[in-house]
Amino acid sequence: MAHTKFECQVLTPEGEAFNGEVEMVSTRTGVGSLSILANHAPLMGMLEPTELRLYKTESDIVRFAQSEGYLQMADNQCLLLVEDAIAPDQLDRSDIEEKLRSCEQEAERAEEGSEERLRHERDARRWKAFLGIASST
């Protein structure tokens, strides 16, 4: 069964990672997983690190390792603003493991409840999610 398509754009600080029509967007917010189809009610959300899936068709799926960011769905257009959107085959497992170790060590050294500690913990969550994506490819 064909689904109605809608415009989707994924932007990072480096530029556009994706721009095209999709049938569904699957991602994760702070309150849980989310799938968006055409004609979805207006929505804004804060995104968590996960595997972003953009379904161009049921069998043609564009995947990204998605970091933190924001999602907006309005007027049948979906916009995702994220820090990183990396194709799973571009993930370097050893590099991610190194970054994860570094974040965890820095978080341990930082003062409990400090902004520095929270930043390192947030980054560690991103690298853990990316490591899971790299392991599944």
Q: Kindly report, residue by residue over 62-113, the tens digit of the pLDDT.
A: 999 999 999 999 999 999 999 999 999 999 999 999 999 999 999 999 999 8
Distance, CA of 65 to CA of 89 (rounded, Å): 10
CATH topology of domain 6-86: ATP Synthase; domain 1 (2.60.15)
Task: Return the closest-CA partner of residue 116 out of 125, 126, 106, 124.
Answer: 106
Distance, CA of 107 to CA of 124 (rounded, Å): 9
The pTM of the full predicted model, rounded to 2 decimals, is 0.89
Kindly give the pairing relationship between strand 43-47 and strand 69-74: antiparallel
Query: Which residue has better confidence, 113 or 7?
Result: 7
Angle, CA of 64, 70 and 71, to the nearest 5°: 80
